[in-house]
Amino acid sequence: RQMCIRDRYQRRVRGHLCIAMVWPKCAVALVCSLLVNLAMVGAQSPTDCHDWPNTCPGVTPRAPYKQTWLMNLSTIIMPCNNTGYTDPSSTLGWGIVDFDWSNGKGTGTADGWAKHKPMDDEEMLFKQVQITTNATPGTTVWVYRNTVYGYPWYTSVRKTLEDPAYAPWYFKFAGKGPWYSKKCDAVDPTLCSDLYHSQEQSPGYPHGDGDCAAPRCDCGEVPCGFYIWNHSSTVIVNNQSFQDWFVHDYVLNEVGTSPLVSGFFWDDVWNPECNIHDQVPHTCEDMGLTQQDLAQLTLDYRKNMGALREATLSAGKFAWQMMWTGGDPYSIGGTGLGPLVDSQNLSLIHI
């Protein structure tokens, strides 16, 4: 069977003990069995636990989550079927089912959001949530949201990319080039954007990471690609700051606030080294970011993530990155499967 797991997980998994499970029709899941409800870290954070990425050891999800001794309810699976919706029977019994953005993408001849005009990944993710919760009542379902890259195949993001008023919320290509990434669509050279974007993991026509239908990929009025938000932007658009939009109109929008959605996977990070994950070569150079820019951007990103965490907890929801997964008790949860308790951290654990 073909392995459809996304490149980002192939790179991360190699350094960890993880399990990749191949389901029928090439639905692949990265499986991390996390006993997060059983193991509570007793150490106190050396800094304010509201400062992202400190995850506040000992802090548990708020209602409606409850601690449990049922082992299967302390597990999480992140499935991704590139050729259609994930069959709910394949995730039956898992405590949390967290759907990736590539789910239902439509590779090869299979239908999927990459072939739709315009692309509707956000809507199809919510449809997957509805399918799963209807088939297996009581299943806890989470959805994917990136915190660095703006995907134009998400309708909420595409609307801001198409409106010039929101341009300050994104980084632009710096200077006159040449740049590593291309401004214009590979098939339609007249479709261009000055907003920085790469083609990392992007659908393409006739083939890409997701295969578009003729005559080209349709991400609306902008080329498809990974756009990058400027978390340092202070520009107010339609009486709304970037942080307010990021928290309430992007993550906790009508999908994120649905009672069927219980949490999220918040992907990627900002740091002064520009190691933001999934970037192509010369990403920060193409945007003209200096070390001072990166340092300030990292601080502002963490402020926005801190606001997002508090809003998410207040809404009774949770996120993968807030879980302790056996690593640094003060950092975000990882995606690699490994022992939660070992000789190095035993003194920090009490059940």
The rounded Cα 320 to chain-centroid distance in angstroms is 10
pLDDT at residue 63, rounded to an integer: 60
Is residue 30 within a helix (H) or strand (E), and if so which, with residue range?
strand 27-32
Residue 234 has pLDDT above 90, yes or no: yes
pLDDT tens digits, residue range 6-50?
A: 333 332 322 222 333 333 333 333 333 343 333 333 334 444 555
pLDDT tens digits, residue range 106-161?
A: 999 999 999 999 999 999 999 999 999 999 887 899 999 999 999 999 999 999 99
Quick check: helix, strand or coil at residue 333? coil
pLDDT at residue 18, rounded to an integer: 31
One-letter identity of residue 142: W
pLDDT tens digits, residue range 311-323?
A: 998 999 999 998 8
229 φ/ψ sector (left φ>0, alpha ψ -120 to 50, else beta): beta
pTM for the full predicted model: 0.84
Q: Within 13 Å and on the Cβ side, how many CA atoms surround 265? A: 21
* Residue pointed to by tokens 């994104």: 170
- Rounded CA gap, 50 and 299, in Å? 13
4 φ/ψ sector (left φ>0, alpha ψ -120 to 50, else beta): alpha
Mean pLDDT of 84-100: 93
- Rounded CA gap, 312 and 251, in Å? 9
Q: Which whole-number Å values give the CA distances from 173 to 143, 177, 192, 219, in the listed order?
A: 30, 8, 12, 19
Mean pLDDT taken over the chain: 83
pLDDT at residue 49, rounded to an integer: 55
Q: Which of 312, 266, 262 minimizes the C-alpha distance to 133? A: 262
Phi and psi for 229 in degrees, rounded to 5?
-75, 145
